[in-house]
Every structure is written in C-alpha cells, then in structure tokens.
Amino acid sequence: MKKAVITGGAGFLGSHLCDKLLKNDIAVVCIDNLLTGDISNIEHLFGNENFTFIKHDVTNFIHVPGEVDYVLHFASPASPIDYLKLPIQTLKVGSLGTHKALGLAKEKGATFLIASTSEVYGDPDINPQNEEYWGNVNPIGPRGVYDEAKRFGEAITMAYHRYHGVDTRIVRIFNTYGPRMRLNDGRALPAFVSQALKGEDVTVFGDGSQTRSFCYVDDLVEGIYRLLLSDEHEPVNIGNPDEISILQFAEEVIELLNSPSKIVRKPLPIDDPKVRRPDISKAKRVLNWEPKVNRREGLIKTLDYFKKKI
C-alpha cells in the first residue's frame, strides 16, 4: 500500500484530501498543528488503521518513520482574516514549512505536491488568469505575507525539482467552498451564510462588483488527485471558471436560505483583487479534468453543513 503525508491534513482542503487518498487505498499520515485546522474534520478517520495523525508544526523538522510515496503540503492559514491575524506564521509555514516538507520528500524519494494559490496572480490585470501570467502582487501589503510565501513556495519547489531531481507538482487553487469550511474564517461564503442564517445584515465589501469564481471542494480534490498522479511539474490552475460578482453571490446565498437579511456595504480591504477567474485549459488538456458541480448544487450541500454547525 502506498503512503502519503499530508501537512495541514486537519484543515478544510487537507481533510478532504485525507478522505480522497484513503478511498483510493493510499495510507495517510496527517500532520497539523491545529492552528487553523480542526480535529472535528478528521475525527471520522480515527478508527481507520490506514490513518495516522501527528500534531506537529511543520516549520520544524518533520520526522515520519518508514517509506513515504507522496508528500502533499497543505499547511497554511488561508483566509485573508487568518493571515492578517497570523502574518508571521503564514510566512513561516509557506517558507520554512515548504522547505521541511520538500526535505522529507527528497529524503524518502516521494512525489511532492504543493498547494499554491490564485493569490500568486495578485490583483490581476488579465482575466481569466492562465499559468503563464506572472501576476501583479504587492509584496508589502497585508496580503503580501500569504502571496509572497506561496510564491516562494513555488520557487523552492521548482528549485528542488531542478537541482535535487525531486518529482514535484504545483497546484494553483482558486476560491473553493464546501463542508468543513470554518464558519468564522472571515471568507465571503461563511460570513454571508452565518449572517443570513441569523437574520443579521450581510456585509458586502466595497460595491460588490469584484468577482470570484467558486469551485466545489469535491471537484477541486479530484483535480488535485489527478495532478498528483500525472507527471506535470509546472503549475496547473484548478478552479471553477464560473465567475460571479460578490454582490450577486451574497444575493444568491440570501435567496437560497430564504433569509430576511439585508445587504450592507463595508469598506473594501486593501489590495482586494478586482477580478479572479481561472483559465483551466491546461487542466483540461493535461489532466482531462473540469469541474462537474454547479454553484447552486454545491451551495445547497454547503448550506446544509453550515446549518448543522450553527
């Protein structure tokens, strides 16, 4: 049986990856310091003999006994509110943490996959964004701690590939939603849902004309799994190209929840990207992948999860 190490395995995406790999008969060692991850995301796996959990901060040396076939580096605060609160931890896990995870992959001869992000494109001046675009990033703004850490993560991953011959993958993840998103991570969807469920005002930042493109988590995880099993070393965008303005998105959530909430405007955060939409032609070509779940379907499943949580 093959074995994977997943850093950040108790987080939103990490925990869904644990499920996906276990379902495909790959044993999983999940490493998480539970800074933004949550044990409740992986509790259901504790009876599984192919699953191990290690509470550890991956900015320190990572020790995993025995053979390892895959290392997936998903540890990082990942919402704007989280990395505003945890700027140093965000920089450290993207730099020191990526270095340690790459060191583990090199030592074990494992395939390494790093969770990168559409944030490497910054506030993009092309839309949609393809993998050849280098981005428009402010290194010293509040989002810089995340964006630059992830850009460094890509750079060191390519360096380990080129200079140490490590078999590496880079996935650029666009906005993703689904069960196990944290209710209080400040992201648009959890914020809108908890406000709408409580009948509170729904806070749209700026005039709400900024766009995002939301991918349901099952689609995303399938794309990452295919990338892991491919032999593509250069970055691949994974996301859903169905673009929507944040104002429309808030209206959709209110309508789906049949909520009496009203929309109110709040100031737009610094460097908030005005547009974001993945060009997924490369994922289609190289991985034969495209998203299958439309927003309405995905939102209904996610809203059910949030309702139970609240």
Which part of the chain contacts ligand UDP (CB under 6 A), choosing from 60-68, 108-116, 203-211, 216-224?
A: 203-211
Which residue from 4, 101, 171, 188 is in contact with ligand UDP, where contact means CB under 6 A? 188
Q: Which of 161, 172, 212, 282 binds ligand UDP (CB under 6 A)?
A: 212
Work out the number of other CB atoms within 10 angstroms of the CB of residue 296.
9
Q: Minimum Å distance from CB 186 to ligand UDP?
A: 6
Q: Site for ligand UDP (CB under 6 A): which residue of 71, 181, 191, 253?
A: 191
- Window 227 to 246, contacts with ligand UDP (CB under 6 A): 246
Exactly one of 7, 59, 79, 89 binds ligand UDP (CB under 6 A); which one? 79
Which residues from 154-183 bind ligand UDP, rule CB under 6 A? 175
Rank residues 5 and 247 by Cβ distance to ligand UDP and give the closer one: 247
The one catalytic residue among 70, 83, 146, 160: 146
Measured distance CA(190)–CA(302) in Å, rounded: 10
Of the residues 38, 272, 286, 290, which one makes contact with ligand UDP according to CB under 6 A = 272
Active site residue 160: no
Question: Residue 50, interface with ligand UDP (CB under 6 A)?
Answer: no
262 HSE (CA, 13 A, CB side): 2
Site string for ligand UDP, 80-119 (x = CB under 6 A): x---------------------------------------
Active site residues: 146
Return residues touching ligand UDP (CB under 6 A): 79-80, 175, 187-188, 191, 203-205, 210, 212, 246, 269, 272
